[in-house]
Amino acid sequence: MMEIGLTHYLVLSTVLFSIGLLGVMRRKNLLMLFFATEILLNAVNVGFAAISHYYNDLTGQMFAFFIIAIAASEVAVGLGLLIAWYKRHGNINLDAMSSMRG
Amino acid sequence: MFEAIAFYLFSILTAVMFYITVTTKQALFALTALAAGMIFISAFFFILGADFLGVVQIIVYTGAVMALYAFGMMFFDTTRELKERSGSPLITAGLSILSAVFVVLIFVAPIVSTKIQVTAPLIAGTTNSQSIGMVLFTKYLVPFELAAVMLLVAMIAGIVLAGKKMDRSLTLMAEEEIMIAEEANRKVLL
**pLDDT tens-digit series, residues B7-22:** 999 999 999 999 999 9
Domain that holds residue A47: 7-96
Alpha helix stretches (DSSP H) within chain B: 2-23, 27-47, 51-56, 66-73, 89-113, 128-136, 141-162, 175-189
Predicted confidence (pLDDT) at residue A37 exceeds the cutoff of 90: yes
Tens digit of pLDDT for each residue in B21-58?
A: 998 888 888 999 999 999 999 999 999 988 999 999 99
- Select B1-82's CATH number: 3.40.190.10, 2.40.50.140, 3.40.605.10, 1.20.120.1200: 1.20.120.1200
Q: Comparing A54-58, A83-87, B127-131, which segment has the lowest mean pLDDT?
A: A83-87
SS3 A93: strand
- Please tell me which of the candidates A14, A49, A88 has its beta carbon nearest to residue B44: A49
pLDDT number for residue B166: 65
- Please tell me which of the candidates B18, B82, B151 has its beta carbon nearest to residue A19: B18
Interface of A with B in 23-42 (CB under 8 A): 23-29, 31-32, 34-36, 38-39, 42
Instruction: Name the residue in chain B with its Cα closest to that of A12.
Output: B11
pLDDT number for residue A87: 78
pLDDT number for residue A45: 93
* Binned average pLDDT, 10 residues per bin, chain B of 190 residues: 90 94 88 93 92 92 88 74 72 83 79 71 79 89 94 90 70 75 68
> What CATH number should be reported for the domain holding residue A47?
1.10.287.3510
Domain-located, residue A1: no
Domain-located, residue A101: no
Q: Per the structure, how many domains does chain A have?
A: 1
CA atoms within 13 A on the CB side of B141: 4
Interface of A with B in 42-101 (CB under 8 A): 42, 45-46, 49-53, 55-59, 61-62, 64-66, 68-77, 79-84, 86-88, 92-93
Averaged pLDDT score across all residues of chain A: 86
pLDDT number for residue B17: 94
The CA angle B78-B20-B40, to the nearest 5 degrees, is 110
Q: Which residues contact A80 (CB under 8 A, 6 or more apart)?
A: B157, B158, B159, B160, B161, B162
- Is B68 part of the contact surface with chain A (CB cutoff 8 Å)? yes
- Please tell me which of the candidates B19, B69, B165 has its beta carbon nearest to residue A19: B19
- Helices A30-54, A6-26: axis angle to 10 degrees equals 170
Predicted confidence (pLDDT) at residue A94 exceeds the cutoff of 90: no
Residue B160: list chain A partners with CB under 8 A.
Answer: 80
pLDDT number for residue B110: 72
